[in-house]
């Protein structure tokens, strides 16, 4: 039990350190920003709807439609993964006895945050959640790191 607690505590500190490392890369303009825009490059408007809802609940930024006018921009995109795996079984003489193939599918929503005028994101996150929940959880991740960097 004591060992499990030690491992859990070490993992917790690693997560805090990772969050602090990510937050230290926030440019000062992030903390003076007042407006934010969402660019949704996924195929679902639910992603931007979820992100907008989370941003409005947070209340830190005014959500606007024009990314060129916004102080910050959140860009969402989706990646798909497909993995296949062959299985071959053979008898003791090496003769094939069975063949199988399995396929797995997955996708992730990625969010990148940009300061006005920059083409390099200052913050990135991703989630395996789908649609509205993905937009909300990406914004919540951003909010949590923001709060660590700017209490």
Domain count of the chain? 1
Q: What is the pLDDT of residue 130?
A: 78
| Residues 48, 52, 58, 63, Cα dihedral to 10° | 120
For residue 12, give both structure tokens.
């917790």
For residue 1, give both structure tokens.
């039990």
Query: Cβ neighbours of residue 60 under 8 Å, at least 6 residues apart?
Result: 143, 146
Do residues 50 and 63 lie in contact, with contact meaning Cβ atoms separated by under 8 Å? no
Q: What is the pLDDT of residue 99?
A: 67
- pLDDT tens digits for range 38-86: 999 998 899 999 999 999 999 999 999 999 999 999 999 987 665 666 6
For residue 4, give both structure tokens.
């499990």
For residue 19, give both structure tokens.
């969050």
Q: Which of 83, 81, 84 is nearest to 126 (CA)?
A: 81
Instruction: Report the chain's terminal Cα–Cα distance, integer Å.
Output: 34
| Strand ranges in 6-134 using DSSP code E only, listed in sequence order | 35-40, 62-64, 72-90, 96-115, 123-127
Domain ranges, residue 91:
2-149
CATH number at residue 26: 3.30.160
Check pLDDT > 80 for residue 125: yes
- pLDDT tens digits for range 7-43: 544 454 444 444 444 435 799 999 999 999 999 999 8
Q: Is the pTM of this model over 0.75?
A: no
């Amino acid at each position: 039990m004591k060992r499990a607690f030690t491992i859990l505590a070490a993992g917790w500190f690693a997560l805090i350190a990772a969050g602090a490392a990510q937050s230290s890369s926030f440019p000062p303009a992030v903390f003076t920003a007042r407006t934010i825009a969402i660019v949704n490059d996924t195929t679902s408007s639910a992603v931007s709807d979820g992100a907008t809802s989370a941003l409005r609940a947070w209340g830190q930024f005014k959500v606007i439609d024009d990314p060129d006018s916004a102080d910050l921009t959140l860009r969402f995109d989706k990646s798909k993964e497909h993995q296949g795996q062959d299985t071959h079984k053979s008898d003791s003489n090496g003769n094939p006895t069975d063949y199988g193939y399995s396929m797995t599918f997955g996708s992730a929503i990625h969010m990148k945050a940009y300061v006005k005028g920059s083409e390099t994101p200052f913050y990135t996150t991703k989630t395996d959640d789908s649609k509205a929940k993905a937009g909300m959880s990406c914004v919540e991740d951003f909010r949590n790191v923001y709060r660590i960097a700017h209490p």
